[in-house]
Amino acid sequence: MLQPILQLSEIEKAFPGVKALDKASLNVYPGKVMALLGENGAGKSTLMKVLTGIYSKDSGELRYQGEETGFKGPRDSQQAGISIIHQELNLIPELTIAENIFLGREKTNAFGRILWSEMYAEADRLLARLNVKHSAKTPLGELSLGEQQMVEIAKALSFESKVIIMDEPTDALTDTETESLFSVINELREQGCGIVYISHRLKEIFEICDDITVLRDGKFIGQRTVAETDEDTLIEMMVGRKLDEQYPRIDAVHGKTSLEVKNLSGTGVDNVSFTLDQGEILGVSGLMGAGRTELMKIIYGALKRQSGDVILNGKTINPDSLKKAWQTVLLTSQRIVKEMA
Ligand SMILES: Nc1ncnc2c1ncn2[C@@H]1O[C@H](COP(=O)(O)OP(=O)(O)OP(=O)(O)O)[C@@H](O)[C@H]1O
């Protein structure tokens, strides 16, 4: 039987008033992708923070490559071959892609001189593996959020880690970037790397993971192979009760029109019209490149509008800046918030 490269057993961790981990366990196998699943607050992040030494555990055991161990912090665990790719990016927009990848561990010659051409060449190789079409000399700030996430992944690859933890890695990625990420995950799997994949997107879990561990209220609920389980079982394990329907159909009670888009045109968008009523969820669908993102960007003023009207609660708006649009329309997209920052 395949032995885990990393084993967290019966980990306990309490914060004042909260038992974040209550005998949580996780096995990571070489050459396999382990999904870590659980509702918000189930303890996934805390478990990863205990693993990488950000938090010390109250009790339990951590075994890595067959030996009981503990890490003093992320640098220590990274040096031992465990990398974590966080949701929040830890990159510096003013530096180039290569500078970000090798920050703090620049390649130098015997005299301490930085070997720029070697660094750029290696960074370019990593970017090519991830299908990122930018030179490693490009300032990071010129990249989209998804591309910046790919740089974070390139950085983890540069450590040649034995275990890589990916925390909601596809949240900011486009469909094409997600495909590139999945092909790299397959490559890493073939090379024997163990991957922990944290995501709330069940479809992705069934597509890319081999095994699944479920946590609930800080407790280990179970480990399953992807082949032997289905979505309903996982949801039941996560929430602790049987669900008749994942998303029960609720008929919308339509109020008055809150947003009206009339004959809107701009980059990638040609004569689009729709109305959105209060109490309604409007789906915008289309193939990659159909102009969905561009449409939203024109509405909130991040891309220039050529013609057409945007009417919010009966008033025509013409945001000439993201900040102004923010004041008028409540946009709750991670990507938009980051673009405004
Ligand atoms: N630093 C902290 N201080 C106090 N309580 C904390 C701290 N970090 C986490 N918790 C609590 O521990 C529990 C587990 O949180 P954790 O963030 O690990 O869950 P999670 O599964 O990662 O959730 P999410 O999917 O929302 O990130 C929660 O009740 C949370 O409020």
Cβ 264 vs Cβ 299: under 8 Å: yes
pLDDT at 324: 60
pLDDT at 222: 96
- Could you tell me the strand order of the sheet in which 163-167 lies? 82-85, 163-167, 194-198, 33-37, 211-216, 219-225
Ligand 1 nearest atom to the CA of residue 49, by list position: 18
Q: Whose CA is nearest to atom 13 of ligand 1?
A: 20
pLDDT at 252: 75
**Are residues 198 and 261 both part of a single domain?**
no
* Residue 324 counted as domain residue: yes
**Alpha carbon of 45 to ligand 1 centroid (Å):** 7
* Residue 338 counted as domain residue: no
- Write down which residue in 199, 224, 245 finishes a domain: 245
Encode pLDDT of 294-336 as tens digits: 898 888 887 889 999 999 888 888 766 556 665 555 554 444 4
**Are residues 117 and 231 both part of a single domain?**
yes
**Are residues 65 and 87 both part of a single domain?**
yes
pLDDT at 334: 43
Nearest to 310 by CA among 322, 323, 295: 295
* Residue 251 counted as domain residue: no
Q: Into how many domains does the chain fold?
A: 2
**Are residues 292 and 161 both part of a single domain?**
no
The residue whose CB lies within 8 Å of the most ligand 1 atoms, and thus the one to mutate among 12, 23, 46, 56, is: 46
Ligand 1 nearest atom to the CA of residue 215, by list position: 21
Encode pLDDT of 84-135 as tens digits: 887 777 788 999 999 999 988 888 888 888 888 899 999 999 999 888 889 9
Ligand 1 pocket member 46 (CB < 6 A): yes
**Are residues 24 and 85 both part of a single domain?**
yes
- Write down which residue in 192, 217, 245 finishes a domain: 245
**Are residues 169 and 305 both part of a single domain?**
no
* Residue 250 counted as domain residue: no
The CATH number of residue 266's host domain is 3.40.50.300
pLDDT at 95: 93
Considering the chain, what is the average pLDDT of its residues?
87
**Are residues 76 and 224 both part of a single domain?**
yes
- Write down which residue in 218, 245, 272 finishes a domain: 245
- The residue that leads in pLDDT, 222 or 341, is 222
Share of the chain above pLDDT 90, in %: 51
Ligand 1 pocket member 268 (CB < 6 A): no
| 29 pLDDT more than 80 | yes
* Residue 337 counted as domain residue: no
- The residue that leads in pLDDT, 26 or 299, is 26
Q: Whose CA is nearest to atom 1 of ligand 1?
A: 15
**Are residues 57 and 206 both part of a single domain?**
yes
pTM (2 decimals)?
0.73
170 by DSSP, 3-state: which? coil
Ligand 1 pocket member 40 (CB < 6 A): yes
**Are residues 44 and 126 both part of a single domain?**
yes
Ligand 1 nearest atom to the CA of residue 46, by list position: 18
**Are residues 218 and 273 both part of a single domain?**
no
* Residue 341 counted as domain residue: no
Q: What is the mean pLDDT of residues 129-143?
A: 90
Q: How many helices (H) and strands (E) does the chain have?
A: 11, 14
**Are residues 229 and 274 both part of a single domain?**
no
Cβ 174 vs Cβ 149: under 8 Å: no
* Residue 340 counted as domain residue: no
Ligand 1 nearest atom to the CA of residue 198, by list position: 25
Q: Is the dihedral of CA 333, 338, 340, 341 positive or negative?
A: positive
Distances (CA, A) of 171 to 1, 17, 149, 239: 34, 31, 9, 22
Residue range of the domain that includes 122: 6-245
Encode pLDDT of 196-239 as tens digits: 999 988 999 999 999 999 999 999 999 999 999 999 899 999 98
Cβ 299 vs Cβ 261: under 8 Å: yes
* Residue 113 counted as domain residue: yes
Exposed/middle/buried for 136, CB within 10 Å: 0-12, 13-18, 19+?
Answer: buried
Q: What is the mean pLDDT of residues 51-67?
A: 95
**Are residues 132 and 260 both part of a single domain?**
no
Q: Whose CA is nearest to atom 6 of ligand 1?
A: 15
